[in-house]
Amino acid sequence: MARPLRLSPAKPLRRAIQVPVWADLALRLGAALLLVSIVILVHWLDRAGLKDSHDGEVSLLDVVYFTMISITTTGFGDITPVSDKARLIEAVIVTPIRLAVLFIFVGTAYNFLIKRTWENWRMRRIQERLTGHIVVLGFGISGSQAVSELIERGTDPGRIVVLDPGADRLEEAEAMGCNVLEGDASRDETLMAVRIAEASTVLVSAGRDDTSILIVLTVRHLAPKVPISVVVRAEDNEILARQAGADNVINPVRFTGLLLAGSAQGTHVSDYLADLASASGDVQLVEREALPEEVGLSLDDLPGRARGLRIQRGGREIGFWQPEAQRIEAGDVIVAVVPTLT
């Protein structure tokens, strides 16, 4: 029987809000103070229409006092508007401002109490229904670059879940619009909280090969069918990573060596290799399943401006020069080069 998913109740997913809390609070308080200042000015200019039952004189302090009790609708009755003009000002100017200030404070309470509670509940609901998402375990240099590249290639940041033990790193991911969760990616409970078994793919980059391989083992235990890509830096650990269950093992040191070797063979080879790997280049490598209308065609006859390079068929790799590449079959996975510029 499949192991049931349990979500961590203590740490729901987070997503960045458009306006920081301190900025939102400052804007609301500033607006309220501006409105109160306007009422003080209006009362001061029309202080002759006010009557102070205490000493008969209306000073600036009396105006400030009367403004505050008017806006808060307290009304002790010691200072009152007696002239028709003063009463008209109270009805036409002060009352709308009083309502506006009230809405500002009610809105602030809603935003910082009700809305925050609602947002936490909403994120828990999103967390419970996560499916087809991309989970990034580790948001260091490689992980952050991978997320940036995914977003640049058109992936919705809301489909990306970043899991990392560092709060500062998560702030960067959150600012990019990703869902984030602070925790240890090698623990079952943490991975189940991001619904690892429902993910479309998992990217692992923990910074240390041993930690990354342990995470791959844990992910494969919880999600037997989810594709896993992992970054390892030691060549000896590539085999261990595959034995742990990784589908793709990326060695940045090896890739750097390929770029260096390419630059030694020509001035443009390394540039083109980097171009292929980035969404910001002129061309891009893509991998996708063969479309129904492509079945029966040659790899050289892909529609559009795509240039087919390789077919993955039944565990075999078929190059564009091989006879089997002259006919695409249903279920083939095609690796092609497509232009990114229009």
Nearest-CA neighbor of 127 among 3, 11, 223, 219? 11
d(CA 160, CA 192): 15
CATH topology of domain 134-250: Rossmann fold (3.40.50)
pTM value > 0.85: no
- pLDDT confidence tier of residue 213, bands split at 50, 70 and 90: very high
pLDDT tens-place string over residues 56-99: 788 888 888 878 877 776 766 777 777 878 778 778 887 788 77
| Percent of the chain scoring above 70 in pLDDT | 79
CATH code that applies to domain 21-128: 1.10.287.70
Cβ-count burial of 75 within 10 angstroms (0-12 exposed, 13-18 middle, 19+ buried)? exposed
* Between residues 98 and 230, the one the model is more confident about: 230
Least confident range from 17-26, 102-111, 223-232: namely 17-26
| Count of residues making up the chain | 342
Q: Among 98-107, 188-197, 281-290, 329-338, where is mean pLDDT lowest?
A: 98-107
SS3 category, 309? strand
Q: Using an 8 Å Cβ cutoff, are 252 and 231 in contact?
A: yes
Provide the residue ranges of all domains of the chain, joining segments of one domain with +.
Answer: 21-128, 134-250, 282-342
Q: Which residue has the higher pLDDT, 277 or 244?
A: 244
282-342: which CATH number, 1.20.1300.10, 3.30.70.1450, 3.30.1130.10, 3.40.50.2300?
Answer: 3.30.70.1450
> Is-contact 232 209, C-beta < 8 A?
yes
Output the CA torsion sign for 211, 156, 179, 194: negative
